[in-house]
Structure formats: C-alpha cells, structure tokens
C-alpha cells in the first residue's frame, strides 16, 4: 500500500477499506455457517445467521478483484511486464503467500486435533494424511480433490493460479510485441479481456471448474482492467468493456458474485475524488484491518474450532455462552491475524 499522508489518493484507501470489510464478512460467514456455536443460537437470530451463512461468502469476490488490481500494479505499472524474470515474480509471490499459509495450516491441524478431543462436529476436519498435507503445501488440494484442512485455504491456491495465469499472459504479450511497448500493451489487454469473457460466459457458469483459475478470472481480470483504466489516458474503451461485459454476463446468467465483482472493479477504476478528508484516524484504522486481512483469513477457522470446542465442552448448547463464544472467536481471529501479519 502507498504510505499514508495528506496526499494519499482515494485508490489506496479504497483498497484498504475493501479488504478490511471483506475479510470480516468472510469470518462472519464461517461463524454463521459452521457449528456448533451458531447452531446453539440459531433459533434466536435465524434470519441474521441465515443471511451471513448464505450471502456473506460473496465477499471473496472483493479479494479477487483487488488481487487482480494489485497484481497489475506490481507487474505492469506502465502497461508492460516490469520484471525481466517471470520466475522471480513467481518466487516472490510464493514467498509472500506460503510462509504464513504454512503456519496457518499447522494451526489448523493442531486446532482440529484439540477440537476432536472435546466434541464431535461435522465442521472438524479428519486427521490429516501425509499426501493431504503435501497437497496443501504445494497448493494442489483442490486440483487433486483432497479434503481441505481449513476453511478458506482454497483461495490461496486459486490466487497463486491466477497470478501464474496473468504472468503467462504478460510473458506472451511481451513476446508478441517484439520490443514494441504499445503492441505489448495491446496484446496484454486483449489476452486479459479474452480471459474475462471466457470466464464470465463459460468457466464461471460450470462448478466443475471451481478448483481452477479460469473459473475466477472474470473477477480477477476485472481488477486488472480496473487498474489499466484508472491509469490510462483513454479511459472510455476500458470502462465500456467493464460495463458491457458485466451487463451481458449478468443478463445471460445472473450471479451475485459477478455483480459484486463488477461494482468493485468499477469503483476501483473510477476516481471518486481527488483528495480525501484528513481524518487520519479512520484511514489508519482501515489500513490496520487491511494489513491483517490475510492473517485473519488464514487463522479464523482454527480459532473457531478451539473456541467452539471449549464452549461446547463446558456449556453445551447454552445460548448465552455460545453467543459469547462467537464474539470471542471473532475478536481472537483479529488478534491472531494481527500476529500473523507481524511475521518477518
């Protein structure tokens, strides 16, 4: 993220706000979706729990769009592949993603073992096998069809796949451009736009592809194109593509996830204002929750398992205790997310 200051642009704060809010919605979704604590209080707040259980998961689309936007900002700030070595870019990406991810997997395995001793619930993963752990470490669990060790870890594998796909598009565009920056940009935009259309109208409509990058490239590609529009002198063609692709895709097959991705991409591509109010406390708070969003995303499920097991073991189905347990799991998830974000 850009440093905070009086001249901080809307774009940076908007991304912080989007990531901060989306990460909390994902936590609330899982707290509502998985038992046993939510089961104990469901009769007291059925509509609220049902809404978070069914709908809050679409917040992951915000991560997909902002992920594409930030990938474009890192790799093609001027419209052409910045790094000489794509392999170095992949290595850098893996070094950012995998260490905290590995820590979170270890926490998930330990938390599940602890929870199994205190309670029986469908939300607890079975004891892991060595092939299962290896599949997770190499981000292949979805492709290989192995059971997940923690909720949400599928996204890390998809994010890496999407980054690899985008990097491949950039490498191909540079090769086809033959040293001409303008041609390379045109090829890159064409590859991304084609990938977006293929995802929106084919891959994203078939759940059989939901372990593969093309299923999600519509939202990720929207983020890439939002960055290109935001930093282009000619904004109209890119904006027109975003608008018409969204309208056509939703007209053919309305999906709330694509609607949210479209709105997020449009917000990122269009300047709302030139300057922000100098309310630094709010800005710093947004930045704080944005920075720990990845850690929260990774660790909230192990926290839920431990807190849920303790509450269930000592208080059974007492609604008051379980309500406090849900609140505690939420707050502890923020704390563990912060701890993970402090990893060197």
DSSP 121-158: -TTSPPPPPHHHHHHHHTT-HHHHTPPPSSTTTHHHHH
CB-based contact 58:304 (threshold 8 Å): no
pLDDT for 37-94, tens place per residue? 999 999 999 999 999 999 999 999 999 999 999 999 989 887 666 766 788 889 889 9
Helix, strand or coil, per DSSP, at residue 201: helix
What was the pLDDT predicted at 6? 33
pLDDT for 165-185, tens place per residue? 999 999 999 889 887 888 888
What was the pLDDT predicted at 172? 92
Tell whether omega for the bond before 36 is within 30 degrees of 0, i.e. cis: yes
The rounded distance, in Å, linking the Cα atoms of 326 and 308 is 8
pLDDT for 217-228, tens place per residue? 999 999 999 999
DSSP symbol at 57: G
What was the pLDDT predicted at 85? 78
Average pLDDT over the chain reads 90
Place of tokens 């930030």: 70
What was the pLDDT predicted at 5? 35
Residues of the chain above pLDDT 90, percent: 74
What was the pLDDT predicted at 339? 93
Would you say residue 251 has pLDDT above 90? yes
pLDDT for 1-27, tens place per residue? 333 333 344 457 889 999 999 999 999
Query: What number is the average pLDDT over the span 149-156?
Result: 92
What was the pLDDT predicted at 67? 96
The rounded distance, in Å, linking the Cα atoms of 263 and 58 is 13
Q: Higher confidence at residue 5 or residue 332? A: 332
The rounded distance, in Å, linking the Cα atoms of 46 and 42 is 5
pLDDT for 269-294, tens place per residue? 987 544 555 467 888 888 899 999 99
What was the pLDDT predicted at 83? 66
DSSP 257-289: HHHHHHHHHHHHHS---SS----HHHHHHHHHH
Encoding tokens for residue 330?
């939420």
């Amino acid at each position: 993220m850009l440093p905070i200051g009086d001249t901080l642009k809307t774009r940076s704060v908007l991304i912080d706000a989007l990531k901060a809010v989306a990460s909390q919605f994902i936590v609330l979704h899982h707290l509502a979706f998985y038992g046993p604590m939510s089961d104990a209080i469901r009769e007291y707040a059925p509509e609220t729990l049902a809404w978070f259980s069914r709908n809050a998961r679409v917040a992951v689309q915000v991560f997909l769009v902002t992920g594409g936007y930030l990938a474009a900002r890192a790799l093609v700030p001027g419209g052409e592949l910045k790094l000489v070595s794509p392999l170095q870019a992949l290595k850098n990406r893996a070094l950012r993603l995998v260490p905290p991810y590995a820590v979170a997997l270890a926490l998930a395995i330990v938390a599940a073992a602890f929870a199994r001793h205190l309670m029986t619930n469908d939300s607890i993963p079975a004891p892991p096998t060595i092939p299962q752990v290896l599949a997770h470490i190499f981000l292949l669990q979805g492709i290989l069809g192995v059971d997940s060790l923690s909720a949400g870890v599928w996204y890390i594998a998809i994010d890496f796949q999407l980054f690899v796909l985008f990097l491949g598009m950039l490498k191909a565009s540079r090769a086809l451009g033959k040293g001409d920056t303008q041609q390379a940009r045109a090829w890159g935009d064409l590859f991304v736009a084609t990938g977006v259309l293929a995802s929106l109208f084919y891959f994203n409509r078939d759940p059989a592809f939901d372990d593969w990058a093309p299923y999600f490239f519509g939202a990720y590609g929207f983020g890439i194109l939002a960055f290109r529009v935001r930093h282009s002198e000619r904004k109209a063609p890119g904006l027109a593509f975003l608008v018409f692709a969204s309208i056509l895709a939703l007209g053919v097959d309305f999906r709330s996830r694509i609607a949210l991705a479209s709105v997020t991409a449009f917000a990122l591509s269009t300047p709302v204002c030139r300057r922000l109010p100098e309310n630094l406390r709010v800005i710093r708070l947004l930045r704080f929750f944005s920075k720990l969003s990845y850690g929260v995303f990774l660790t909230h499920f192990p926290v839920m398992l431990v807190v849920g097991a303790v509450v269930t073991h000592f208080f059974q189905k007492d609604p008051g205790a379980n309500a406090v347990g849900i609140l505690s799991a939420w707050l502890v998830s923020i704390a563990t997310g912060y701890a993970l974000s402090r990893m060197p």
